[in-house]
Structure 1
Amino acid sequence: MSDKFKELEVKLSKYKWYLKEAKQLELSIRYPYQLADGNVGGGKSSGGDNDKLLSTLIKIDENEVLNKYVKIGQAIERTFAELPEHLQEAMMEFYINRKGHYRGHPKRCAAKLNVDVSTLYRWRTEIVTEFDRQLQKDEKNKEES
């Protein structure tokens, strides 16, 4: 297996992690922890940004880590949508639904899918190839804009 194949498989298997981290980053930008400004009089504080929603949206849009996680998650979702049903099932079993200490174990997944381990490997190769194609599409779109 090549290093790129392994790297792409790691990204695929971290799908739920990317979703969770992206949500946490977005929430931390939308609702940052703020110290009290000392305004105890009940009136408006003086100065400051009057358009907090716009500045929050700009911060979300410009956060590179958040954008990276969202793009990887979207590429994984597009990959799933493009695959035939048997590959979708293999993708869910091998990469997405990773529970227990046998998670991502080729022999266990192959048995659960009722296929040979070599067949599962071919399917994994097809899934990773499609995922790479989706990521390349993102890069191409990024360069064009």
Structure 2
Amino acid sequence: MTDKFKELEVKLSKYKWYLKEAKLIELSIRHPYQLNDGNVGGGKSSGGDTDGALRTLIKIDENDDLNEYVMIGQTIERTFAVLPEHLQEAMMEFYINRKGHYRGHPKRCAAKLNVDVKTLYRWRCEIIVEFDRQSSKDARVRPSSP
């Protein structure tokens, strides 16, 4: 196995993690923890936020980690969408549904899919090739940084 194969497999297996982290980053930007400003009189506090929504949207748009996680998640979803049904099932079992005793174990996943381990390996290679193809499309479309 090549390093690129392993790297792409790790990305595929972290799909749910990418979704969770992207949501956490977005929520932390939208609802930051704010300290009490000391205004106990009940009147209007000083330094009011008149353009908070726009600033929040800009922060979300400019967050590199958030953009990367969302991009990887979308690439995984597009990969899943273009695969034939048997590869979709293999992708779900081996990479996405990683709970329980079938978690990423080739022999157990192959048994659950009712195929040979070698067949599962070939399917994994096909999934990785398609994921790499979808990732390459993203790299061509993504604007370069200044």
- Scaled to the shorter chain, the TM-score interval is over 0.9
Write the deviation string for residues 28-84 of structure 1: whole angstroms up to 9, x where unpaired. 110011101111222222224311011001000100001110000000000000100
Measured in 2, the distance between the counterparts of 1:77 and 1:58 equals 25
Q: Write the distance in 2 (CA, Å) between the matches of 1:144 and 1:7.
A: 23
| Aligned residue number for residue 133 of structure 1 | 133
Deviation at 1:21, TM superposition (A): 0.6
Q: Which runs of 4+ in 1 moved over 4 A?
A: none
Write the mapping of 1:1-145 to structure 2, written as runs, cut at 5 A.
1-143=1-143
CA shift, 1:10, in A, is 0.4
Query: What code does the residue aligned with 2:2 have?
Result: S
With the length of structure 1 as denominator, give the TM-score of the two structures.
0.95
Helix, strand or coil at the partner of 1:74? helix
Cα distance in 2 for residues equivalent to 1:43 and 1:51: 20
C-alpha distance 110-21 of structure 1, shift in aligned 2 (>3 A): same
When the two structures are aligned, how many residues end up with a matched partner?
145
For 1:89 and 1:102, the matched residues in 2 are separated by 14
Gaps of 5+ in 1: none
Partners in 1 of 2:72 and 2:106 — Cα distance? 23
Q: Residues 72-109 of structure 1: CA distance to partner in whole angstroms, max 9, x if unpaired?
A: 00000000001000000000000001112441111111
CA RMSD of aligned residues (A): 1.4
In structure 1, what is the Cα distance between the partners aligned to 2:42 and 2:78? 50
Distance 1:41 1:138 in 2: 53
Identity %: 81
Shifted more, 22-31 versus 38-47: the winner is 38-47
AA of the residue aligned to 1:53: A
The one-letter amino acid of 2:14's match is: K
Could you give the per-residue CA deviations for residues 3-37 of structure 1, whole angstroms, max 9, x where no partner exists? Answer: 00000000000101111111011101100111011
Secondary structure of the 1:41 match is: coil
- Give the Cα–Cα distance (whole angstroms) in 1 for the partners of residues 38 and 130 of structure 2: 55
Distance 2:93 2:102 in 1: 11
